[in-house]
Chain A
Amino acid sequence: MFAPIGSTEATMTIYLDGRAIPARAGETIAACLLRAGVGHFRTTPVSGARRLPYCMIGHCFDCLIEIDGVGSRQACLSEVEDGMRLHTQDGPAAIAGMEFQ
């Protein structure tokens, strides 16, 4: 859906569900994952529907994703960091050490 304008200048690597994705310093996680062609960042807690970013400026909260073990973070507001570990969020955010039904 999105292609880089010019060269990407990726000097970092982030990981989504274990998959390595090249990242450019200063870009948001959302931009990085969209360039990589990621099909959805999360599924909704209600129906399990897939979602991708909608507004990209922090209003819609559809870009929620798990960043370094913390769920429901806004990918459109968070910058990439080298070695960052992301997980597609299925339904509500998981809380470390807690199990829901």
Chain B
Amino acid sequence: MSSAIELASAGCRVIVLDMQPLPGGQIFRSLEANMQARPRTDALLSALGPAYRAGLALIERFRAAPGIDFRPGTTVWDLRADGTVGWLRGNAAGYLRAPHVVLASGAMERPTPFPGWTLPGVMTAGAVQTLMKAGRLKPEGRIVLAGTGPLIFLLADQLRRLGVKPALIARTDRLGDKLAALKRVRPAGIPALAKGVGWLARLRLAGIPMRTGISGLQALGGEHLESVRLLAGGKNMDIPCDLLVVHDGIVPSTDLAHAAGLALEWKRDDASWRPRTARDGRARMAPCPSFTTGPCRIRITGDARRIGGADAAAAHGRHAARAILADLGRIARKQGGPDRTEAEVRRTLAARPFLDAAFPPGLAARLPDDATIVCRCEEITAGSLRVAIRNGAADMNLIRGLLRCGMGPCQGRSCATTLARLLAEAEPGRPMPPSPFRARPPLRPLPLGALAGMTGLDPALAQVESLDDKPEEIAGDDVHA
């Protein structure tokens, strides 16, 4: 949103494709609708807190900016480095091409395979927040929150305000992590730190049981979650439970960047991939045969580039937009030191080094045991993956072909990082796979009717002429420039 506002304010024509029905992403999800529905939503808005309502100013500026063609409910199922974007809205699909593309596809929660994580009744913290914001629902019954990260505290505090008291908050992080992280606190990060201490104090005051340093999480039950088992303080705990909410931090959503042939890098300390980008978000092409030629027209911003939260995403979105305006010759390129928007990016990321150290990956820290499902879609266990790896399968795509791991409807979004780590486990010292499974469009389900009736910049784009069904580079003008 902030990128679009900055570009439109400078006179550019901007098309915004958003999978959600309303602007605001996941952080400010349904904010507009919830504000309009007041006073019915007063209790909800009060529980979600001022940080949620603060998004309204940005949404209002986005709605008011002339020159923004906002297309809600639109799924992007293809992206190329030459600026070609495949879109789907309802049952209509087509292609757009732009001289500049800003990819702001956000983050996803870190996949955390543990025994029972596919049972009905196990959900992520983000899912519960989405159900609150967009569904106006609150969890009820016996609830356990497990994992790590600021979102656990934020969610618990929001639930407290709604009168929902979890049976237990089971944290994988330890006090030692916090003490070690303290040396990474920078002055600009202190407000975020104070916020966290405030959450913690209120949860303690509300008498919500909390354990730190837990491990060995298991969800138990037949057709639905019945109880949670975990190891805390050297002892097994069994907790009867209706809803297990898990969270292990968030990682960049790399599906679109990877499919566009952009380079990713493995972040060892975070056990996740992220795109390789310049400071202004400009993406780099992966060193492999590309389906397009010419310069890369994609910039990546927000959590899709680097996890930083809403403020950092808005700040970097503006910074990336300024870089595009400089490319277009609409503003002078800043010489020498960082410009205003870059300084803002740094300020908004100031708390990250502390947060990353204080809340290291916990649920996913250790690789799952053999009986645990890794690929949720095809129900492939870690054990069967280890057997395939021991038998010589040393490549992610080969394993996908052999076992169907990553071949289900989610297309490997939930299992790719775990499989990459299983490969590394088998052969320590070997470099991590440079990217997840090879991705081909459509990246998301595309109804056959939409495919058949596809419109685009070039009718030839819709024709499959060979097995290499990606369109070749198209000579000629940019229709949407």
A interface residues (Cβ-Cβ under 8 A, vs B): 1-9, 24, 26-28, 30-32, 34-35, 39-40, 44, 46-47, 49-62, 64, 70, 72-74, 76-77, 79
Contact = CB atoms under 8 A, between A and B. Distances in A.
B372 interface: no
Interface in B233-284: 242-243, 253
B124 A58 contact: no
Q: Report the 8 A-B pairs with minimum CB-CB distance, sorted nearest first.
A: A31-B135, A56-B127, A52-B120, A61-B409, A56-B130, A2-B137, A61-B410, A46-B379
Nearest to B136: A5
B40 A7 contact: yes
B33 interface: yes
B135 A44 contact: no
B445 to A, nearest CB: 7
A73 B446 CA distance: 10
A19 to B, nearest CB: 18
Contacts of A2: 131, 135, 137-140
B408 A61 contact: yes
Contacts of B447: 70
Nearest to A53: B127
Interface stretch (B41-49, B149-157, B171-179, B306-314): B41-49
The CB with the most chain B CB atoms within 10 A, among A9, A30, A58, is that of: A58
Given A1-B140, A2-B140, A57 B108 contact: yes
A5 B132 contact: yes
Interface residues of B, number: 53
A89 to B, nearest CB: 11
B379 A49 contact: yes
B322 interface: no
Nearest to B135: A31
B126 interface: yes
Contacts of B253: 59
B21 to A, nearest CB: 6
Given A34-B131, A60-B376, A52 B121 contact: yes
A8 B37 CA distance: 11
B165 interface: no
A36 B137 CA distance: 11
B226 to A, nearest CB: 13
A73 B30 CA distance: 21
Contacts of B367: none
A47 B379 contact: yes
A28 B409 CA distance: 20
Nearest to A31: B135
B122 interface: yes
A1 B47 CA distance: 19
A54 B379 contact: no
A56 B254 CA distance: 18
